[in-house]
Amino acid sequence: MSRVDDINDWRDKLPVAETALTRLRLEAGSAILRATDEQALFEPVCRLLIEVGGFRLAWVGLTEPAGDRLSEAAVEARDAATGDYVRELARSEEGRWGLTRRIRYREPWVITVPAGREAIHPDNPWAGLAGRSNGCAVAYLPIASDRMVHGVLVVAADDTEYFDALRLRQLEHLAGDIAVKLDWLGRWAIGLATREALDHAAARLHAFFDVAPHAILLVSPGTIETNATFARMFGIEGSRRLQRRELGRFFPPDLWKEMVALYRRRSAGRPAPERYEAVGVRADGTHFPILVQVTNLQLEAGGAHAVFITDLSLRLP
């Protein structure tokens, strides 16, 4: 018997579900390799999950830059009602929260609920999807690479016992292949969209930063950023970034040494006052009383301090 005959004989002995899943992995893998953009990636994979894999539903949601909601990338379903139902779930506040919370763990999970018992399941409202049409099983597969969590692949099977450990592992590999492809596409497609969204969010943040009534110093590792209120209060031109050595000129020398000592205590996790009165020095050399309030922040780049300064001279009679 030839090697080809051996392979065909082995494949013929596989259960129908395993044969379909093996063919799905092969055809979906080919589609993933050929895809040149997201649409060419998700639509064929979802269609193959229905037509070759025999699933009732295939839905892909991608995380938006903020990470707290999902946008639909593709959906295929054997009936329109199921597709509409999953869209409603994904758009609802409870549905979005349920998915985004779970995919952060990067582990697949399965919901199997008999019809009419959705309310008792802890993953409600997504349990309602498993309870449709006299019950089915639904698997939620995070699309996650080593770099990031891109989203989730949701598939529904008619057999409530379908998602055993072996089949779930095969589907998890499929979701992982999609994530790796998205990493590659992200070099020029997803990365650009994400950067644009984050830049837009940063612009909104800086607009608020500059109109705040307090002078603000954002002290992060390596940089100190001031807002427009700080510039007006201390008589300098515009909001800008400062070096640590430059900041000392806005306070009397002895007071500045004390402020630096408090900063070092705070950075080391030791007790330090978060609110105290001090003296500021304007660019023209005049002194004025100020109130300093400090809060710790945790940014992506590491720990930082936000220093809020109030001009107390404005309150004097």
Using alpha carbons, list the distances in angstroms from residue 74 to 27, 40, 86, 120, 223.
18, 10, 11, 30, 43
The per-residue pLDDT for 282 is: 93
The answer, yes or no, to whether residue 135 has pLDDT greater than 60, is no
The answer, yes or no, to whether residue 45 has pLDDT greater than 90, is yes
Q: Who wins on pLDDT, 137 or 285?
A: 285
Mean pLDDT of 285-301: 79
For the ranges 9-18, 183-192, 245-254, the lowest mean pLDDT is seen at 9-18
- Model confidence over 196-228: pLDDT tens digits? 544 554 455 555 566 677 888 877 766 788 888
Is the pLDDT score of 188 beyond 70? no
Q: Is the pLDDT of residue 48 over 90?
A: yes
- The 10s digit of each residue's pLDDT in 49-99 is 999 999 988 999 888 755 567 788 899 988 888 888 888 887 777 777 777
The answer to whether domain 3-191 has CATH 1.10.3720.10 is: no
What pLDDT sits at residue 8? Answer: 44
* CATH hierarchy code of domain 208-315: 3.30.450.20
Give residue-wise pLDDT tens across range 15-37: 445 567 888 888 888 888 888 88
In this predicted structure, what is the pLDDT of residue 5?
47
Averaged over 148-161, what is the pLDDT?
87
Residues of each domain in the chain carrying CATH 3.30.450.20: 208-315
Interval 131-147 mean pLDDT: 76
At residue 14, the 3 state secondary structure works out as coil
- In the chain, the percentage of residues whose pLDDT exceeds 70 is 72
Bridge partners, 251 (sequence order): none
Rounded to 5 degrees, what are φ and ψ at 189?
-110, -70
Counting Cβ atoms within 10 Å, is residue 306 exposed (0-12), middle (13-18) or buried (19+)? middle
pLDDT attached to residue 222: 64
The count of other CB atoms within 10 Å of the CB of residue 1 is 7
pLDDT at 131: 61
The answer to whether 46 touches 141, Cβ cutoff 8 Å, is no
Residue 153 pLDDT: 93
Q: Please determine, for residue 265, whether its predicted confidence score (pLDDT) is greater than 70.
A: yes
Strand order in the sheet with 215-220: 241-242, 223-226, 215-220, 302-311, 287-299, 275-281
Q: Does the structure show a pLDDT above 70 at 302?
A: no
Given this model, what pLDDT does residue 280 score?
94
What does pTM read for this prediction? 0.53
**Distance set, CA 75 to CA 37, 56, 86 (Å):** 16, 11, 9
Highest mean pLDDT among 12-16, 43-47, 156-160, 208-212: 43-47
What's the full length of the chain, in residues? Answer: 317
Per-residue pLDDT, 191:
43
Highest mean pLDDT among 43-52, 107-116, 152-161: 43-52
Q: Look over the chain and give the mean of its residue pLDDT values, rounded to a whole number.
A: 76
Mean pLDDT of 131-156: 80
Supply the pLDDT for residue 273. 84
SS3 category, 48:
helix
Give ranges for CATH 3.30.450.40 in the chain: 3-191
